[in-house]
Amino acid sequence: MKEIKNTALLVFICEPSETTLAVTNPASGELLCHIPTQTEEEINTIIERSAKAQKEWKNTTAKHRSSILNNWYQLLMENQDDLGRIMTLEQGKPLAEAKGEVAYGASFIEWFAEEGKRVYGDTIPAHTGDRRLMTIKQPVGVASAITPWNFPIAMITRKAAPALAAGCSFIGKPANQTPLSAYAVVELAYQAGIPKDLLRLVVNHSSRLVGEIFCNSTTIRKLSFTGSTAVGSQLIAQCAETVKRVSMELGGNAPFVVFDDADIDAAVAGAIASKFRNAGQTCVCANRLYVHDDVYDQFMGQFIEAVRQLKIGNGLDEGVNIGPVIDQNAKEGINKLIAKAVEQGATLAYGGSPREGLFVEPTVLTDVEQSMDIVQEEIFGPVAPVIRFRTDEELIQNANDTVYGLAAYFYSRDIGRIFKVSEALEYGMVGINEGIISTEVAPFGGVKQSGFGREGGKEGIEEYLDTKYLCYGGV
Ligand code: NAP
């Protein structure tokens, strides 16, 4: 952690003990530091204090909350370089991408600082002459969140910022593999003026225990989860008993489609960005490519050439595009999917050679069939399986042939086809001639087993608000 200039961002580092959590660098395996964990009793105390803090916070003005959130946004941007470095050290993504995530994460704070000032209710034309009807929006109360390792900052700010702007308090559990940048961001929140009890992170060696405490608590009124569908569905079930409000941002299996009328240069650039960002470890990464027969040779020639240019290495080194994957399990899972695809008849068109440590070579597979595991499962690695197609009907059927429904992408210049395909794709988000679509100004989220609820956009703050109907009689 020697590279970090603002050492105030590292206040969480502690001496190792039996209860502390060790955080390592996936690029080198080196131990970065230890941080404290919280016991069940300590987490329960944090929840109770959070409820007290929320009672005061909800009575502040939206303008006051906005100004503090804006301070927080400014501090993230001023510390972009250090936050990016901490993220690359613990998560592995290239430094430029990590700094990009800091700016992306900060953008949600800036956005919701504004949105919080526009939490409007309605006046409703009454059904009788002696009544007046109105709705007001109120914060849900204490909000909690559990987030994954692939976006250690943005997944926290995308939830904490709307919660705080709405007047909620917030308790988050970052992934145990990448808690450092989340803690650094929360430290900046305190510097910005956010009361400590209002915004807290907790970690424990048992994520299951933290999940159970959050779900079973009657004080916590909301759980927002980003992670795998398997864990998400378990948390939905656990929240049933306390009838907690829940939002779920879960796994994806994004199709990336190149039609015969596509701008091939743009499609190649989009496919590279969408497939290989964060070494393929994003929920909206292109998981499977469909290329029309008539442009297949042209697209594949350019695509493989572009993949050849990608440089693998430590994310802190200049010019690196592909960092390590998160851990040995992830690496083995990706390699198994490649091996199984080859066994099922796919051809290794590029890559696939073994690499040291946690690195996986960018790989392209051709002669891929719809039924193969690599098409049906979320790969979460730098591997692109490519399928040829002929008709729009066949394409739409195969693109929708998955339990997931997060993001989809297609490249076409035919306006009729663009409307038809956009509407036919059963996904929460569709990129049309774009490979990177996430932004704080638009609603992010999925359908089917990719979850429910939306983050960002005008929808994001609604996840932290209850609508109260007021009926004034005798007037
Ligand atoms: P994961 O295993 O579901 O973990 C996500 C979070 O849940 C981590 O903080 C993890 O803690 C925690 N967790 C694990 N088991 C738990 C349990 N039984 N009870 C409570 N919490 C538990 O997912 P992942 O493998 O880290 O992340 C990758 C997945 O996230 C992919 O499927 C990806 O598509 C999805 N994702 C979705 C979005 C989206 O917006 N839709 C965005 C990013 C990622 P520990 O890590 O500490 O164990």
Q: 370-427 pLDDT, tens per residue?
A: 999 999 999 999 999 999 999 999 999 999 999 999 999 999 999 999 999 999 999 9
Q: Which atom of ligand 1 is nearest to the CA of 250?
A: 41
User: Which letter, b or e, does each residue of 165-182 get, where b requires 16 or more Cβ atoms within 10 Å of its Cβ?
Assistant: bbbbbbbbbbbbbbbbbb
Q: Is 283 a catalytic residue?
A: yes
Check whether residue 89 and residue 163 sit in a common domain. yes
Q: Tell me: the pLDDT tens digits for 183-227?
A: 999 999 999 999 999 999 999 999 999 999 999 999 999 999 999
With a threshold of 0.75, does the pTM exceed it?
Answer: yes
Task: Provide CB contacts within 8 A for 234, sequence distance 6+.
Answer: 211
Rounded to 5°, the CA angle 335-274-163 comes to 105
**Distance between CA atoms of 305 and 300, rounded to whole angstroms?**
8
**Same domain assignment for residues 356 and 235:** no
Pairing between β-strand 347-350 and β-strand 169-173 as defined by DSSP bridges = unpaired
pLDDT per position as a tens digit, 28-70: 999 999 999 999 999 999 999 999 999 999 999 999 999 999 9
CATH code at 47? 3.40.605.10
**Inter-residue contact 475 to 130 (CB < 8 Å):** yes
Distance of CA 261 from the midpoint of ligand 1 (Å): 38
Helices vs. strands in the chain: H and E counts, helices first: 14, 18
Within a domain: 444: no
As a whole-number percent, the residues of the chain with pLDDT over 70 amount to 100
Mutating to test ligand 1, I would choose from 23, 43, 149 the residue with most ligand atoms within 8 A of its C-beta, which is 149
Residue 207 CA to ligand 1 centre (angstroms): 10
- Output the CA 56–ligand 1 centroid distance in Å: 32
Active-site entry in 33, 215, 283, 285: 283
Report whether 240 contacts 267 (CB < 8 A): no
Q: Where in the sequence is the domain holding 455, given as residue range(s)?
A: 2-251+449-471
Mean pLDDT of 232-239: 98
Residues 196 and 262 in one domain: no
- DSSP-derived secondary structure for 79-139: THHHHHHHHHHHH---HHHHHHHHHHHHHHHHHHHHHGGG---EEE--SSTT-EEEEEEEE
Looking at residue 133, what is its pLDDT? Answer: 98
Q: Are residues 228 and 285 in the same domain?
A: no
State whether the beta carbon of 208 lies less than 6 angstroms from ligand 1: yes
Please choose from 207, 331, 455 the residue to mutate so as to test ligand 1's pocket, defined by most ligand atoms within 8 A of CB.
207
**Cα of 235 to ligand 1 centre, how many Å?**
11
Q: Catalytic residue at 48?
A: no
Same domain, 279 and 294: yes
Give pLDDT, residue 2: 81
80 and 25 in one domain?
A: yes
Burial category of 199 from C-beta neighbours within 10 Å (exposed 0-12, middle 13-18, buried 19 and up): buried
Q: Best mutation site among 150, 234, 247, 331 for ligand 1, i.e. most ligand atoms within 8 A of its Cβ?
A: 150
Determine which residue's CA is closest to atom 6 belonging to ligand 1: 148
Residue 342 falls inside a structural domain: yes
Is the Cβ–Cβ distance between 345 and 351 less than 8 Å? no
307 ligand 1 Cβ < 6 A: no
Distance, CA of 29 to chain centre: 24
Q: What is the distance in A from the centroid of ligand 1 to the CA of 172?
A: 13
Q: Answer left, alpha or beta for residue 378, where phi above 0 means left and psi between -120 and 50 means alpha.
A: beta
Residues 27 and 146 in one domain: yes
Handedness of CA 453, 206, 220, 170 (dihedral sign): negative
Protein residue with least CA distance to atom 48, ligand 1: 207
Interval 242-254 mean pLDDT: 98
CA atoms of 43 and 203, how far apart (whole Å):
9
CATH number at 335 reads 3.40.309.10
| C-alpha to C-alpha distances, 221 to 174, 457, 460, 470, nearest whole angstrom | 19, 22, 17, 22
**313-328 pLDDT per residue, tens:** 999 999 999 999 999 9
Q: With CA atoms as reference, report the closest residue to 55 among 197, 222, 213.
A: 197
Interacting residues of 260 by C-beta distance below 8 A, sequence separation 6+: 292, 293, 294, 295
Predicted pLDDT of residue 373: 97
Question: Are 27 and 58 in a shared domain?
Answer: yes
